[in-house]
Structure 1
Amino acid sequence: MGFTINTRHRLEQDGRAVERIASPAAHTGGTFGQTPHILIMHFTYGASARSSASWFQDPDNRSKSSAHVVVDRDGAVIQCVDFDTAANHAGQSSWGGLTSFNNKSFGIELANWGYLKPGPGGSWTSYTNVPIASPFLAAHKNGNPYRPSDAPIGWEPYSPEQMATAVAIARALAAKYGVDTILGHDDIARGRKWDPGPAFDMARFRNQVLGDRAIDGPNTLTVRSPTGLNLRQGAGTEFAMIEQLADGTQVAPIEQRGNWLFVNVLDEEGVAQKSGWVHGAFLA
């Protein structure tokens, strides 16, 4: 899978332009004043890449939202805004002393229902009642979008095909524009947005795109506790235990609060299976 960006700031796959459903100029911020080096990842909270790209064109889209590209669950790509133009994907945002990320970043949307609704018998569905057979169960690092705020809830997983495409596009952005920082919408709009959420393995994604330039430091840590390590719903012993992690378990750190780390728990292939809080004294 080879993605490149041409002189018109449009994405090509294996030398052919990807499908384009252009967002109206009124749904963009105009030409970038300075080329961004930041990439923001999102989920669409929608049915498909096409439905989201079409929404970006819709006159009823009162927020005039848009994104540079949308990646479908099967890995297909639609470009909506050229990479020399600011897309309206971030909204009110701040991080690292910066604000207004529409003008400072590229935005990739992944077709995904995001957080799910609980149903009978432990089932989970989208807000449109689409059943999700094998949801990713985790609490959001910033607190869930609905109560209980700190207990595991269902999230739609991202497909391997979708993630492989997202990695390839991000690498093309790094090669063309020098992208060296990758964040989630939930990093720059804490408490307002929950995408791409805990089902998106940000530490793994950064490592795949940027290698040892990933901004979170070590990409994995190992549980060092013969009696195991409690994975908790919050940053403290007062929070309920999700499960006990065995000695030698690999985790990917996402966020730190004092001595506590919010981590993704990885399987043997390094893929995130669940998330929660652990005490950093038992990681190496």
Structure 2
Amino acid sequence: MNFSIKNHRLDTGTSNVNFVGSPNIGGELKARFLIIHYTASGPDADIARYFSQKAANVSAHLVVRRDGSVTQCVPFNVVAWHAGKSQWTGKGGTRYSGLNSSAIGIEIENWGPLDKRAGGWVSWTGVAVDGSKVIEARHKFGVPDCGWEVFTSAQIETVIALAQAICSAYAVEDIMGHDDIAPGRKSDPGPAWDMETFKARVRGGGLFQPNRQRAIG
């Protein structure tokens, strides 16, 4: 699917995508970065609805479900609360702190790290996860070394298209994971998301496939 952005809202060419507004927002956003997250949730959770609750105290601009469907929660010119305590050195050596004020955030529905038990893989909530959808890998920063839910092909293609639209509309100089801007505190999107190949696809080259290295059968 191709996306465009009109008045800071995501558009499919025929209409805006589903919008579930979040009250957890800041001031004006001038995007310099795009941050990729996972939701650490299963298919029964509605993260966009969760973001719509003030008590959540968190939000992101977009949520992408396992089937590739997209919900926008915050306009792209408004600060969302997705990065938290974070820092990054941009091109030219400019240092950024607290990247909510300079980054668009995409949350991708995914359990993230998984525990291995006698019966197979389980999420942090104890829910069983199909082993054919799990890889075993060490995070690039060393920990955790565990199982990780694989992102779906629908999610991958959707997020590539989203990133292309965002990078075309705004002065985005880099794409990072939450783990890059908050190492040691955050692990998303983790080793199941091939960030370098993803960025190459966004720029128009390479093939991004679900990372199934050391797949668990």
Q: What secondary structure does 1:179 align onto?
A: coil
**Counterpart residue number, 2:211:** 272
Q: Superposed, which structure 2 residues align to 1:42-61 within 5 Å?
A: 42-48=37-43, 51-61=46-56
Once the two structures are TM-superposed, the CA of residue 20 in structure 1 deviates from its matched residue by: 0.6
Taking a change above 3 Å as real, the CA distance of residues 127 and 112 of structure 1, as seen in their structure-2 partners, is same
Q: What secondary structure does 2:76 align onto?
A: coil
1:154-203: CA deviation from partner (whole Å, max 9, x where unpaired)? 01100000110000000000111132310000000000000000000101
Once the two structures are TM-superposed, the CA of residue 120 in structure 1 deviates from its matched residue by: 0.5
Once the two structures are TM-superposed, the CA of residue 138 in structure 1 deviates from its matched residue by: 0.3
**TM-score using structure 2 length:** 0.88
Question: Does the 8 Å CA contact 2:61/2:73 hold for their aligned counterparts?
Answer: yes
**Bigger RCO of structures 1 and 2 (CA < 8 A, at least 6 apart):** 2
Once the two structures are TM-superposed, the CA of residue 269 in structure 1 deviates from its matched residue by: 7.9
Q: Does 1:28 align with 2:25?
A: yes
- Over the matched positions of the two proteins, sequence identity in percent amounts to 41
Letter in 2 for 1:206: K
Taking a change above 3 Å as real, the CA distance of residues 49 and 72 of structure 1, as seen in their structure-2 partners, is farther
Once the two structures are TM-superposed, the CA of residue 46 in structure 1 deviates from its matched residue by: 1.2
Cα distance in 2 for partners of 1:50, 1:19 equals 17
**Counterpart residue number, 2:75:** 82
**Counterpart residue number, 1:188:** 181
Q: Superposed, which structure 2 residues align to 1:8-27 within 5 Å?
A: 8-24=7-23, 27=24
**Counterpart residue number, 2:92:** none
Cα distance in 1 for partners of 2:103, 2:75 equals 13
**Greater gyration radius:** 1
Q: Does 1:201 align with 2:194?
A: yes
**Counterpart residue number, 1:5:** 5
Cα distance in 1 for partners of 2:44, 2:33 equals 22
Cα distance in 2 for partners of 1:273, 1:159 equals 11
Once the two structures are TM-superposed, the CA of residue 13 in structure 1 deviates from its matched residue by: 1.4
**Structure 2: gaps of 5 or more residues:** 90-94
Q: Superposed, which structure 2 residues align to 1:213-232 within 5 Å?
A: none
Question: Does the 8 Å CA contact 2:193/2:210 hold for their aligned counterparts?
Answer: no
**Counterpart residue number, 1:128:** 125
2:36 aligns with one of 11, 32, 41: 41
Taking a change above 3 Å as real, the CA distance of residues 269 and 15 of structure 1, as seen in their structure-2 partners, is closer
Cα distance in 2 for partners of 1:142, 1:38 equals 21
Taking a change above 3 Å as real, the CA distance of residues 101 and 49 of structure 1, as seen in their structure-2 partners, is farther
Question: Does the 8 Å CA contact 1:31/1:84 hold for their aligned counterparts?
Answer: yes
Question: Does the 8 Å CA contact 2:52/2:73 hold for their aligned counterparts?
Answer: no
Between the two proteins, the alignment pairs up a number of residues equal to: 207
Question: Does the 8 Å CA contact 1:49/1:72 hold for their aligned counterparts?
Answer: no
Cα distance in 1 for partners of 2:164, 2:116 equals 36
**Counterpart residue number, 1:141:** 140
Once the two structures are TM-superposed, the CA of residue 14 in structure 1 deviates from its matched residue by: 3.0
Question: Does the 8 Å CA contact 1:68/1:81 hold for their aligned counterparts?
Answer: yes
Backbone CA RMSD of aligned residues: 2.1
